[in-house]
Amino acid sequence: MSKEIAMQDQKDCSVIKVKTSISRRWRLALTAISFTRALVASLSKKDLLDYVAIKVENPTFLDADPKALSDMLRGKNLESLKSQFGGVKGLAAILESDVKGGIGSTAEADLMRRKNVFGANEYQKPPAKNFLSFVLDALKDTVIMILLACAVISLGFGIKQDGWKDGWFDGGSIILAVFLVVAVSVVTNFKQSRSFQKLSAKSSDIKVEVVRDGRRQPLSIFDIVVGDVVCLKIGDQIPADGLFLEGHSLKVDESSMTGESDHVEINGDKNPFLMSGTKVTDGFGSMLVTSVGMNTAWGEMMSSISRDLDEETPLQARLKKLTSFIGYVGLSVAATVLVVMTVRYFTGHTTNEKGEREFYGGKTRFNDAMNAVVGIVTAAVSIVVVAIPEGLPLAVTLTLAFSMKRMMKDNAMVRKLSACETMGSATTICTDKTGTLTLNEMKVTEVWLGGGETMSYDQESTSNMSPIVQHLLREGVGLNTTGTVYKASFASVPEISGSPTEKAILSWAVFGLGLDIDEVMQKCETIQVEAFNSEKKRSGVLIRRNREKTTHSHWKGAAEMVLIMCSNYHDEDGNIKSMNDQKRRSIETVIQNMAAKSLRCIAFAHKKLEQENGQVSEKLEESGLTLLGLVGLKDPCRPGVREAVETCTAAGVNIKMITGDNKHTARAIAIECGVLKPDEDVESEAVVEGVQFRNYLPEERTAKVDRIRVMARSSPFDKLLMVQCLKQKGHVVAVTGDGTNDAPALKEADIGLSMGIQGTEVAKESSDIVILDDNFSSVVTVLRWGRCVYNNIQKFIQFQLTVNVAALVINFIASVSSGKVPLTAVQLLWVNLIMDTLAALALATEQPTNELMEKPPVGRTAPLITRVMWRNVIAHALFQVTVLLTLQFRGRSIFGVDEKVKNTIIFNTFVFCQVFNEFNARKLEKKNIFKGILKNKLFLAIIGITIVLQMVMVEFLKKFAQTVRLDWGQWAACIGIAALSWPIGWLVKCIPIPGNKA
């Protein structure tokens, strides 16, 4: 001890620094304090020291152990939270965060330090499929493997027979052609895969409300750091692991983590633990973020899951069946060609270019016979390549990828690929009112208080209001709200945040009633809160004022719902009067008058709970209330929504508005938006209430559902019931929704459309498409794109079927009759390249036109290949077969040329027939195939590229393509013959099709 005293004599201050874990730090601090007390007591007797100073540093977030935090939360270890971290408030202090104001410093350097210590709120995803994987997948195709095998054999025999200089042409040409086909296909698929991955990242970018530096602000889920205070409400997905700070009636659905469907109650006493990936199902509150990204259980789970946006859609499944059928036909033709050509060759019925017999039994060399057999097999396989419409799935992929990219620019984010094509078949759209048909920018425009007249709201209109009523309204608005009012300084303008309804009411109270929300909260204690829900359509709060024993119930909600709870009202002087039947009817008239002006009517009510038998009630009363007043909130219709509704109606799509507002407000808005005509009144059953709809007998509901235009005072169950009823009647139903309770209807619908701004994460997760601007006009845009996708795919099907039929018939007839196919393997592969990739790209990128919205929807059971398409396919295929067979059998005499020139002319004419047929495919029914062509620059570019490449093939790649150069006359003849498909197409479209409604 004397040695230690001597050491203390040499120093004025002893500083104990603790650099270890938090628990060890506090143990050392307690030891140091105890030691100091003993030391001071000892030194005071010897007068060796005047004072001893101990400096103990406060723990900082740099000392926090991310693993300890993660383990504590995953294990829901309440004991560890209290003993190791000092409870929620103690942990907030360690993380240098304020439970009310959040992180104090929002500087980039401070946020980066937090990310360095605790990690970023991002998940490690499985590595994306690389380019080589796509190449290997393409080479695994059976037909490609057979072609390559034939090419290698042909290459070997060719080099052996003719040497390296000339022997590699046949086999090398096939290898090069296969390489081109595979390369184009792989590059296209690789690019689309990258596009889908970007879309997946975009759809994962969730916005949450975070408090930083005392200010509530929206933030990307990826920007959240440990220490942040996050605001939670019904429908939110919890963005990270954390601890409950404050709130009321907060319940979460942990089924995504635990598999249990029960909703777990979150509170500060027994269960403050909130896990990322779970969803808020009731109440509201705030949480302190303690773990992010890979330190959460959700992060570990998500890192092993790769969201597959490249799923097979219903249309792709239908096309697979079509592809299989055509493939079987192609295989049959190829097998027949193989047998016929082999028999003809070995029986000596085939001749070479000089007209000499090719096979003599016992005299023909083995190499020559094998070369001939390889050539026959290659020709048969090439027929299979052309016959199997491999371009159909590619065309669908290209169309979907292109439309998804463009739809993102048009404020629609596709979450499920199938929605793109299904939307084109939609026959009915069930839409919300608030935020979709209207701007969702609420503003108090009318106020009714006591027995007075309804008055237009301005800041002076509250000057004559009774002080008692003013005080109760300030208290009711300030305490019974999920919104916030932030004021940086005394002179600054308050920033109000929350839902549009909450913002409007708070704005009225702050600027009209002089509400100071912080002052109101400080003067009162909140005992119980009932959060707003779509069933009761009201919210309540039970409070006790400071230094008072009595409690007060405050209610706010839909006017007619709150009015039912009221037995009294405040008159103009603030006196409480009993509400008789006459007064109740007059108030109901006020509500109806507001609703007729398309105002949302909100009522405020209050009840003071006195002591009974010395006990004060701590229950939120729902009866015997006193009405304080009514406010009318105006939410104007969106610009252009009426035109959008008219567009849908003209396209044969029914619009049904489903809203929680009362019948009068709903009817007024529906007429204003064009959903309802003024003469379609309540008696015509165009407007019903939810309770009325759900009480119909099933047969009655089915009979009346088509006539309903507006459903008011609806619950989520009513919305789901309507969707089910419409689907049973054969409708293809699209539904818009933004709330958690809309999730069942969004899932049940054929296409679920959630709102990107006001929509909860639960709604977005249940939907197929997210409307980023919450605008009904964007819903119509999605409908137009859906029809465009379906129409583009039909265009390509018509184009490809024409080529398939023509190629198969020409090769089959030519091989059976002469033992030779006019189109070689390389030439057929080149046609396949044009057909499967370039044409798919050209036709898949056609943009929506107004013509699409002039047709009725295709519905659920319409055939993919219509009668109109069959008419066009048969006509053009017949034309091509006739022309090319004429050239095959009479071409030499017509043009006065040899066999090689004739085959080149056939090949050239066949390719140009496809070029001209691409124009015909642009319009399935319209005679003017050039309308709007200048808008599609890509189509024109692809046509130009195809023509240039064809010229190179014929004129410069003679050995590769097995062609000879043509003179100007022959080129003109090829193009002129192929161009006849335009007038033929025009004439064919004059033929009426029975049952064609379009």
Three-class SS of 345-400: HHCCCCECCCCCECCCCCCCCHHHHHHHHHHHHHHHHHHHHHHCCCHHHHHHHHHH
pLDDT, position 438: 86
| Distance from C-alpha of 75 to C-alpha of 65, rounded to nearest angstrom | 16
The residue length of the chain stands at 998
For residues 573 and 178, which has the higher predicted lDDT (pLDDT)?
Answer: 573
DSSP 318: H
CATH number of domain containing 560? 3.40.1110.10
Residues 233 and 270 in one domain: yes
Residues 645 and 704 in one domain: yes
As a whole number, mean pLDDT of residues 355-361 equals: 70
Q: Is residue 996 part of a domain?
A: no
For residues 248 and 478, which has the higher predicted lDDT (pLDDT)?
Answer: 478
62 pLDDT more than 90: no
As a whole number, mean pLDDT of residues 57-61 equals: 56
| Distance from C-alpha of 105 to C-alpha of 111, rounded to nearest angstrom | 8
pTM comes to 0.73
Q: Which of 745, 644, 754, 743 is nearest to 412 (CA)?
A: 754
Contact 807, 823 (CB under 8 A): yes
Residue 466: Cβ within 10 Å count: 18
> Which contiguous run of DSSP H or E holds residue 332?
helix 314-346
Where would I find the beta strands (DSSP E) of 188-343?
Answer: 207-212, 215-220, 229-232, 241-253, 263-265, 273-274, 279-291
| Distance from C-alpha of 64 to C-alpha of 266, rounded to nearest angstrom | 25
Work out the widest C-alpha separation in the chain, in whole angstroms: 133
Contact 840, 711 (CB under 8 A): no
pLDDT, position 40: 45
Cα atoms found within 13 Å of the Cα of residue 49, Cβ hemisphere only? 20
| Distance from C-alpha of 801 to C-alpha of 881, rounded to nearest angstrom | 13
Query: Strand, helix or coil at 116?
Result: helix
Domains in the chain, number: 5
Residues 431 and 457 in one domain: no
pLDDT, position 251: 87
Amino acid at 176: L
Paired strand residues for 216: 211
User: Which residue range forms the structural domain that includes residue 643?
Assistant: 413-439+638-773
pLDDT, position 4: 45
As a whole number, mean pLDDT of residues 920-930 equals: 89
Average pLDDT value over all residues in the chain: 81
Write out the two tokens for 448.
Answer: 């009714």
As a whole number, mean pLDDT of residues 669-697 equals: 83
Instruction: Identify the residue whose tokens are 């890192």.
Output: 303
Question: pLDDT for 935-982, tens place per residue?
Answer: 888 899 999 999 998 999 898 888 777 889 999 999 999 999 999 999
| Distance from C-alpha of 778 to C-alpha of 639, rounded to nearest angstrom | 12
Q: Beta strand 654-658 with 455-456: parallel, antiparallel or unpaired?
A: unpaired
Write out the two tokens for 472.
Answer: 């109760």
Residues 736 and 765 in one domain: yes
As a whole number, mean pLDDT of residues 863-874 equals: 89
Mark residue 829 as left, alpha or beta (left: phi above 0; alpha: psi -120 to 50; beta: remaining): alpha
As a whole number, mean pLDDT of residues 704-724 equals: 91
Where would I find the beta strands (DSSP E) of 744-797?
Answer: 751-755, 769-771
For residues 312 and 55, which has the higher predicted lDDT (pLDDT)?
Answer: 312
Q: Is residue 187 part of a domain?
A: no
Where would I find the beta strands (DSSP E) of 617-689?
Answer: 625-634, 654-658, 687-689
Residues 609 and 686 in one domain: no
What confidence tier does 30 reach under pLDDT thresholds 50, 70, 90? very low
pLDDT, position 126: 66
| Distance from C-alpha of 772 to C-alpha of 782, rounded to nearest angstrom | 12
Residues 435 and 455 in one domain: no
Contact 224, 210 (CB under 8 A): yes
pLDDT, position 56: 41
pLDDT, position 910: 92
pLDDT, position 995: 63
User: What is the side-by-side order of every strand in the sheet holding 769-771?
Assistant: 412-414, 769-771, 751-755, 733-737, 428-431, 654-658, 710-712, 687-689
Cα→Cα distances 137→131, 183, 812, Å: 10, 12, 31
Q: Is residue 943 part of a domain?
A: yes
pLDDT, position 459: 47
Q: Is residue 957 part of a domain?
A: yes
Question: pLDDT for 750-800, tens place per residue?
Answer: 899 988 887 877 788 888 898 888 888 888 889 999 898 888 888 988 998
Residues 883 and 765 in one domain: no
CA 650 to chain CA centroid, nearest Å: 27
| Distance from C-alpha of 910 to C-alpha of 806, rounded to nearest angstrom | 9
| Distance from C-alpha of 592 to C-alpha of 663, rounded to nearest angstrom | 9
What confidence tier does 352 reach under pLDDT thresholds 50, 70, 90? low
Q: Which of 461, 475, 464, 483 is nearest to 515 (CA)?
A: 475
Residues 271 and 379 in one domain: no
| Residues with Cβ within 8 Å of residue 648, at least 6 apart in sequence | 429, 654, 655, 780, 783
pLDDT, position 434: 81
**477-509: b or e for each residue (b if 16 or more CB lie within 10 Å)?**
bbbbbbbbbbbeeeeeebebbbbbbbbbbbbbb
pLDDT, position 19: 37
Phi, psi of 528, deg, nearest 5: -145, 145
Q: Is residue 311 part of a domain?
A: no
Query: Strand, helix or coil at 437?
Result: coil
For residues 687 and 449, which has the higher predicted lDDT (pLDDT)?
Answer: 687
For residues 628 and 139, which has the higher predicted lDDT (pLDDT)?
Answer: 628
| Distance from C-alpha of 303 to C-alpha of 932, rounded to nearest angstrom | 46
What confidence tier does 458 reach under pLDDT thresholds 50, 70, 90? low
Residues 573 and 670 in one domain: no
CATH number of domain containing 757? 3.40.50.1000
Question: pLDDT for 254-303, tens place per residue?
Answer: 876 665 666 888 988 888 999 888 888 888 889 999 999 888 877 766 65
Q: Which of 147, 143, 146, 156 is nearest to 370 (CA)?
A: 156
304 pLDDT more than 70: no
Residues 531 and 630 in one domain: yes
Q: Which of 602, 729, 594 is nearest to 656 (CA)?
A: 729
Instruction: Identify the residue whose tokens are 């027929």.
Output: 383
Question: pLDDT for 815-840, tens place per residue?
Answer: 777 767 777 777 877 887 777 678 88
Residues 460 and 604 in one domain: yes
Cα atoms found within 13 Å of the Cα of residue 965, Cβ hemisphere only? 4
CATH number of domain containing 330? 1.20.1110.10
Q: Which of 695, 675, 700 is nearest to 686 (CA)?
A: 675
CATH number of domain containing 247? 2.70.150.10
| Distance from C-alpha of 423 to C-alpha of 734, rounded to nearest angstrom | 7
Q: 478-492, 594-608, 741-755: which range is least confident on average?
A: 478-492
- CA-CA-CA-CA torsion sign (899, 905, 908, 909): negative
Q: Is residue 148 part of a domain?
A: no
Per-state percent for the chain, helix, strand, coil, to nearest 5: 55, 15, 30
Q: Which of 933, 827, 884 is nearest to 379 (CA)?
A: 827
Write out the two tokens for 548.
Answer: 């008072």
Answer with the one of 634, 655, 685 that is the final residue of a domain.
Answer: 634
Write out the two tokens for 925.
Answer: 């029914």
What confidence tier does 354 reach under pLDDT thresholds 50, 70, 90? low
Question: For the packed helices 66-74 and 78-85, what is the interaxial angle rounded to 10 degrees?
Answer: 150
| Distance from C-alpha of 424 to C-alpha of 636, rounded to nearest angstrom | 29
Residues 301 and 342 in one domain: no
Answer with the one of 707, 739, 773 that is the final residue of a domain.
Answer: 773
Where would I find the beta strands (DSSP E) of 87-237?
Answer: 97-98, 102-103, 207-212, 215-220, 229-232
Q: Is residue 176 part of a domain?
A: no
Q: Is residue 100 part of a domain?
A: yes
Question: pLDDT for 79-127, tens place per residue?
Answer: 888 888 888 888 888 888 888 888 877 778 888 888 888 888 887 766 7
pLDDT, position 153: 73
Answer with the one of 773, 792, 817 that is the final residue of a domain.
Answer: 773
Contact 623, 567 (CB under 8 A): yes
Active site residues: 432
Contact 351, 424 (CB under 8 A): no
**442-464: b or e for each residue (b if 16 or more CB lie within 10 Å)?**
bbbbbbbbbeeeeeebeeeebee
Write out the two tokens for 37.
Answer: 């007390």
Cα→Cα distances 274→102, 512, 837, Å: 17, 39, 50
Write out the two tokens for 919.
Answer: 């124009």
Paired strand residues for 615: 612
What confidence tier does 6 reach under pLDDT thresholds 50, 70, 90? very low
| Distance from C-alpha of 290 to C-alpha of 298, rounded to nearest angstrom | 14
Phi, psi of 616, deg, nearest 5: -100, 130
Write out the two tokens for 995.
Answer: 């049952």
Question: For the packed helices 825-833 and 366-387, what is the interaxial angle rounded to 10 degrees?
Answer: 20
